[in-house]
Each structure stands twice: as C-alpha cells, then as structure tokens.
Amino acid sequence: MIDFRDEVVYLLKDQIEFLSEDEIKLLVEVPPSYDMGDYAFPTFRLAKEQKKSPNIIAEELAGRFSGNDNFEKVESAGPYVNFFINKQKLIETVLNEIINKNNEYGSSNIGMGKTVIVEFSSPNIAKPFHIGHIRTTVIGNSLKKIYKFLGYNTISINHLGDYGTQFGMLISAYKKWGDKEIIESNPIQELLKLYVRFNTEADENPALKDEARYWFKELENKNPEAIELWQWIRDISLKEFNRVYNLLNIEFDSFAGESFYSDKMPRVIKELEEKELMQESNGAQIVDLEPYSMPPALIQKSDGSTLYTTRDIAAAIYRKEQYNFYKNIYVVASQQNLHFKSWIKVVELMGYDWAEDCIHVPFGMVSLEDGTLSTRKGRVVFLEDVLKKAIESTKEIIDERHPDLENKEEIAKQVGIGAVIFQELFNQRIKDYVFNWDRTLSFEGETGPYVQYTHARASSLLEKGEFDMNDKVQYSLLDNEEEINICRLLYNFPGVILDSCAKNEPYFITRHIVEIAKEFNKYYNSTSIIVEDEEIKKARLSLVYATKIVIKTGLALLGIEAPNKM
C-alpha cells in the first residue's frame, strides 16, 4: 500500500537542503483537522536556520509543488505547508488493499522468526478469580493477538501462583478440617474458607505457622501425600479458572507456574554465588542494588527457602533457554514495578544482555467503591459474576428489542463479554479505576456493543445489498466527505496496530475502531447505501465491506467477537 507520509517526505527532501530525510520525517505531522490537509510540514526549524519568517518559507515551499498523482494540492497556511491527499487515490488504494487482504489487512511479517512470550493472568490457586484479575487477563490476551498478527511467534504463559508457604497452610488446614466432597462441590469458596480459618487461628496459635512451613517443606521434598494434595487443589482450582477463560475465549500455551520452577532455583543461587553477586545480610542472601538506588533483591530467606524474586529470575533464564525469546513480556500490576526493576537488574548483573528484553507491562489498580479489593474482608467481586451479569443484561436487551433474533444465547454471550473486555481495553493501562456495575453494564456510546452493533449493521447491509466482493467497483463514485473520512481511518488502521504493539497498549486499537464506527454511523444516517443505481450501490457496499473487515479485525485483536446480527 502506498505510504502517503513517506511520499510527503520524498517531496520535501528534494526541496530542503538544511534538513536530512530523517529530520524531515520526524517533523511531518498530521494537522488538527482534515480541512488543513492530511499531512503538514511546520517550517519553524527552517526559519531558524535560514533566518526568515516561517510564513514566507512555507509560502515559498508550497509554491514549488504542483499537485501530483498522490497529492491533489499543496498549500501553505501560516507557517505550515499542508499536503492534501488525492482522495480518489486514497479511496482506491485502501479499498483495494482491504478487499484483497481481507482478514489479513493490517497484519505484517515484521515479527517473522521472532518469539514473544506474554505472561499474563496468573491467578493464585485456591483463591477466587475476581475483578482484580481482569486487567492482566484481558490486556495480556490482546497483546498476544497483536504480536501474532504482526508475525511474531507467540507463547502465552499463565504463571500460576501454585507454590509457596500459602500451600503449606492449605495442606495443613485441609488435613485438620477439610472435607473432600464439600470442597469439590464449591472448590474456591471452600478452599478460601480453609485458608481464612487457618490464618485466623494462626494468629492465636503460632504453632500452626510452623506446621504450614513444615508442609511446604514437605512439598518441596516431594512427600507423596503433600504432592497429591497439592495436585488435587491445583486441578480443581484450574477447573474453576477455566470456566472464566472459556467465557472470555482465552487459551494459554503454558500453565508453567511457580511450582514449575521449584527445581530450577538452586542453579540460580549457585550462579549468583559464582558470579559473586550474593551477600549475606541478617541471615538472608541478597543481591545489593545500592549502586542503582534500589533496595536489595532478596534471593534466599534465612531459613534457606526462596522467594518470588528468585523464581522470576529462574523463570526468565529458563524461558530464554527454552524459547530464545525476542521479548519476554510480563503483564503484571504496577504495584510490582520495583520488583520487576529489581530482578531484571539482577539478571543484567549476571551478565545476560537479554535482560533488556524482559519487559514489565504494568497496569493500574482496580478498587471497589467501598475500598480496596480484599478477599479476606469479603470485599470482592467475582469475575465470573461480572461476565454472567453482562451476558444476562445483554439477553434482556435482546428480548426487548429483537425477540426474534436467532442464536440469542450465543449473541448475548458475545456482546456481554465483549462489553466487559472492551471497557477494560478502552483506556491507558496505567490508570486506576473503581469498579462500577452501571458502567460495566452500559452498552451505549463508546462501548463494545456500539462497535459490534456497527459491525452488525454493516453485515446486514452487505446481505441486503447482496454484495459480491468480486464485483468490479467504480471507486470514483465514492467522493463525499464521510466516505473519504472513513477511508482515511481505514487507511490508518495498520499504523495503529504497530503503535499498539510498540507501546504494548491495546487501547490505541480500541479507540481507533470506535472512531471508525462513529464515522460509519454518521455515514449510515446521512446516506442511503442500498440505492437504485447499481454502480453506486456496489461502490458504497465495497466501503461498507471494508469497514466491516477492519472493525472485525480490530475487535478480534482485542479478543472480542463480532456477530453479524445483534
């Protein structure tokens, strides 16, 4: 596809001797509104070098361009030289490209031969899967899809919290008060009860903690009884989690969690010792990070057991050896910024230059109106409940407005889940937010259902108008403002995906498909698509088709489905 921006740079570089091509490229920008053109070149830099007024330079510069095939006009406006794309060329270029590439439009092979690991979701076994887990789950899933679309080989890893002293507690608690049948009837709730009870009683009776430590030690020592219980708890928890993953339509390539690395820790400790990075401090083994203005990284507790810093280091080394990753991405809450900074620094100090390829992708906190989420204090909203409620609300709307719709259940699921995911991916990751039912269950305005609805509208038009993508289309019949604006947005879509990937921010895509939907709905309301004139109809439907493809692709990259009817 023609890169109009590059074309602007080519045109400019022949006329400007004071700046290099790269400098020009950096200066070329997009004007605030379309009536100022599609690209603009500000002349302030030149003005400084040439000691002339920017306005005069812009005027002179603009005068040296006559329109060409790609640009219908080049004008100066104050200190700017504005480039106006040849609209017909744009429309033809972008629609041809989309119709040819179809679902591949926007994809790329820049990632060919490179492996990107995305670690995300990572719930703790035997703990509820609550609203606090949604961000990592949904952002990680989307990032994986984005990388894949750009040609990377992707590995999604669910780094389950399936190890640690907490398991010693669970095993002790189960042995004291547990009942297999009761637990299997409602695993997470019952295991949580045991966990809470154990903690409460341990406050009164410290001996319990020793017992927990004993059982964790036994787990590490591969005591068959401990292993069996651990395996059982892990299995039933995972079964619970999978219900949510199924609702969200999310799959993982690996569930190698913390336990997976338990036997890979000694090697790390040995290596740290050999490289003389470890030192003792108050009985514990640490890596001093004082020179980097960070608190020390705690590698080994005074009782000899390891911590999650050690596990993360072991995991990173394992992943490098196993997958030879190009990027190793961690979608983990921003509270752990320091933790990641710290262990990645240790990996760097170990002499691994790939430390810089380990990337923490942080996100802000979810809280509830009455405070921070706290499972133990009962302040918790289960993710499954949120998803189910969203589906129910959607179902009610369908029953009310489109009672004859086929596959109501399936569509209610796609739209309800879509609404939740979309909202999650609508803003910058880093923003904190307070969970709110009304907002989660609102389906109007800039929401998932709005975009899905637009897609369904487009689908319906294509069906009614009997669009055939093999028809020859006279693109010159598309020339009104809305048609061109839609094409501009469709044209920018591939670039938006690249930005999303570069910043690990799915919301660029979310925002962009909302823009497309808005522009399309405007068009829909102002223009009849299915008209008497066959040629006009075909031309308009081709635009509808391209819009549908891009919306569908965009939603897919977010992990959201696009029903044809709703």
Partner RNA sequence: GCGCCCGUAGCUCAGUGGAUAGAGCAGUGCCCUCCUAAGGCAUGUGCGGAGGUUCGACUCCUCUCGGGUGCGCCA
Residues 432-461 that bind RNA (CB under 7 A): 432-433, 439, 442-447, 449-450, 453, 456-457, 459-461
Residue 277 Cβ, how far from RNA at the closest point, in Å? 14
Q: What are phi and psi of 434, to 5 degrees?
A: -100, 125
Residue 302: strand, helix, or coil:
coil
Q: Which of 25, 127, 345, 389 is catalytic?
A: 127
Nearest to 38 by CA among 489, 537, 518: 489
Q: Which is nearer to RNA, 100 or 205 (CB)?
A: 205
Distances (CA, A) of 439 to 386, 390, 416, 433: 12, 11, 13, 11
Q: How many C-beta neighbours within 10 Å does residue 117 have?
A: 29
518 binds RNA (CB under 7 A): yes
Q: Which residues pair with 329 in a beta bridge?
A: 118, 359
Q: Which residues pair with 117 in a beta bridge?
A: 155, 328
31 binds RNA (CB under 7 A): yes
Distances (CA, A) of 152 to 24, 144, 206, 242, 319: 31, 9, 51, 26, 16
Q: At what angle do helices 408-424 and 448-464 cross, to 10 degrees?
A: 130
Residue 325 Cβ, how far from RNA at the closest point, in Å? 21
Can you tell me which of 67, 78, 266, 351 binds RNA, judged by CB under 7 A?
78
Nearest to 491 by CA among 39, 25, 143: 39
Can you tell me which of 426, 469, 471, 492 binds RNA, judged by CB under 7 A?
426
Can you tell me which of 161, 168, 178, 506 binds RNA, judged by CB under 7 A?
161
> Which 177-216 positions form the footprint of RNA (CB under 7 A)?
none
Matching residue, tokens 């039933």:
236
Can you tell me which of 121, 142, 166, 547 binds RNA, judged by CB under 7 A?
166
Site string for RNA, 242-281 (x = CB under 7 A): ----------------x----------------------x
Query: Which tokens in the block code for residue 341?
Result: 């900074």
82 binds RNA (CB under 7 A): yes
Q: Is 455 a catalytic residue?
A: no
> Which 496-515 positions form the footprint of RNA (CB under 7 A)?
507, 511
- Beta strand 115-119 with 327-331 is parallel
372 binds RNA (CB under 7 A): yes
Residue 324 Cβ, how far from RNA at the closest point, in Å? 25
Residue 474 Cβ, how far from RNA at the closest point, in Å? 18
Q: What are phi and psi of 372, to 5 degrees?
A: -65, 150
495 binds RNA (CB under 7 A): no
Report yes or no: 64 and 49 within 8 Å, Cβ to Cβ.
Answer: no
Can you tell me which of 73, 197, 301, 389 binds RNA, judged by CB under 7 A?
301
> Which 42-61 positions form the footprint of RNA (CB under 7 A)?
42, 44-45, 48, 54
Region binding RNA by CB under 7 A among candidate stretches 139-147, 244-252, 351-359, 364-372: 364-372
Q: Which is nearer to RNA, 184 or 273 (CB)?
A: 273
Can you tell me which of 93, 115, 124, 485 binds RNA, judged by CB under 7 A?
124
Q: Is 402 a catalytic residue?
A: no
217 binds RNA (CB under 7 A): no
Q: Which is nearer to RNA, 15 or 336 (CB)?
A: 336
284 binds RNA (CB under 7 A): yes
Q: Which is nearer to RNA, 80 or 149 (CB)?
A: 80
Residue 292 Cβ, how far from RNA at the closest point, in Å? 11
Residue 5 Cβ, how far from RNA at the closest point, in Å? 10
Identity of the amino acid at 515 = E
> Which 389-418 positions form the footprint of RNA (CB under 7 A)?
394, 397-398, 401-402, 411, 415
Can you tell me which of 17, 33, 51, 353 binds RNA, judged by CB under 7 A?
33
441: CB partners within 8 A, 6+ apart: 389, 390, 393, 419
Return the HEC string of 227-260.
HHHHHHHHHHHHHHHHHHHHHHCCCCCECCCHHH
DSSP string spanning 462-525? HHHTT--TTS---GGG--SHHHHHHHHHHHHHHHHHHHHHHHT-THHHHHHHHHHHHHHHHHHH
Residue 288 Cβ, how far from RNA at the closest point, in Å? 8
Residue 31 Cβ, how far from RNA at the closest point, in Å? 3
Q: Which is nearer to RNA, 382 or 433 (CB)?
A: 433
298 binds RNA (CB under 7 A): yes
334 binds RNA (CB under 7 A): yes
Q: Is 127 a catalytic residue?
A: yes
> Which 525-544 positions form the footprint of RNA (CB under 7 A)?
525-530
Dist. CA 262–CA 259, nearest whole Å: 5
Report yes or no: 74 and 38 within 8 Å, Cβ to Cβ.
Answer: no
Residue 394 Cβ, how far from RNA at the closest point, in Å? 5
Report yes or no: 376 and 124 within 8 Å, Cβ to Cβ.
Answer: no
Dist. CA 106–CA 550, nearest whole Å: 8
Tell me which residues are annotated as active site: 127, 130, 133
